[in-house]
Amino acid sequence: MSIKKSALKTLDLMTTSDVAKALGVTVRSVQLWVEQGALEGWKTPGGHRRITRASFNKFNSNVASDEHKVTTRLNVVVVEDSLAMQKLYQMTIASWQLPIDIKFVSNGCEGIIYVTQHMPDLLITDLKMPEMDGFAMLKSLRDVDAFSKMAIVVVTGMQPQEIEEKGGLPRGVRLYGKSPVPFWEMRELMQGLIDRKLEA
């Protein structure tokens, strides 16, 4: 054990990384909990947060902590018929080690059913899908108030001009290309959605 870790253990202190790992959340989530007073902690002169083990134990054993962990998990549904693309999404998102639950459906009809039953935080979809027009699906969702705040990302090989010729995308829908999928942008988006859930 390093001298630094040994000192922290002696003082009954934890780092934000220690707490994040123990609770299965992001470091940013822990920082926000400290700022909100849910965890007792402070910043060292070097700018690092230290959290008391006693407050961590209390937070972790409290029923409310379970509610925090559930509500800060991001629920994502991906409408994608390609198994290769599904695997790519799954492996890439898992590598981020963020509190994300991902569900794959293979066509627009299944996507609509899943969304209406589970109200995910984020929908990722293509525009060209078996059994459904992606443009019609997105318009239908945006016309319902209950889904007006759901984040939507379109990942498609269609060109912007072709999309405009078909009527364009509804308000607030992000457009990403497929060659390659800009996963770094997607990661930033998902981290932002997780932080927003935590702050709500």
Residue 54 sits in the same domain as residue 18: yes
Asked whether the predicted pLDDT for residue 104 surpasses 90, the reply is yes
Residue 166 sits in the same domain as residue 136: yes
Domain boundary among 45, 65, 85: 65
CATH of the domain at 42: 1.10.1660.10
Using one digit for the tens of pLDDT, what is the confidence trace for 33-76? 787 777 888 888 888 888 988 888 887 776 344 555 556 789 99
Residue 173 sits in the same domain as residue 98: yes
Residue 103 sits in the same domain as residue 185: yes
CATH of the domain at 154: 3.40.50.2300
- The reported pLDDT for the residue numbered 63 is 38
Of 106, 189, 117, the closest CA to residue 153 belongs to 189
Residue 60 sits in the same domain as residue 78: no
Strand partners, 177: 156
Asked whether the predicted pLDDT for residue 154 surpasses 90, the reply is yes
Alpha carbons 195 and 52: distance in angstroms, whole number: 23
Residue 91 sits in the same domain as residue 60: no
Residue 58 sits in the same domain as residue 121: no
Give Rg (Cα) of the chain: 20
- The reported pLDDT for the residue numbered 74 is 94
The range of the structural domain enclosing residue 8 comes to: 3-65
Residue 57 sits in the same domain as residue 147: no
Alpha carbons 196 and 31: distance in angstroms, whole number: 13
Phi and psi torsions of 80, nearest 5° = -155, 125
Asked whether the predicted pLDDT for residue 17 surpasses 70, the reply is yes
Phi and psi torsions of 187, nearest 5° = -65, -45
Residue 122 sits in the same domain as residue 92: yes
Residue 132 sits in the same domain as residue 52: no
Domain boundary among 38, 65, 92: 65
Domain boundary among 65, 87, 111: 65
Residue 158 sits in the same domain as residue 78: yes
What pTM does this model have?
A: 0.65
Give the number of domains in the chain: 2
Residue 61 sits in the same domain as residue 79: no
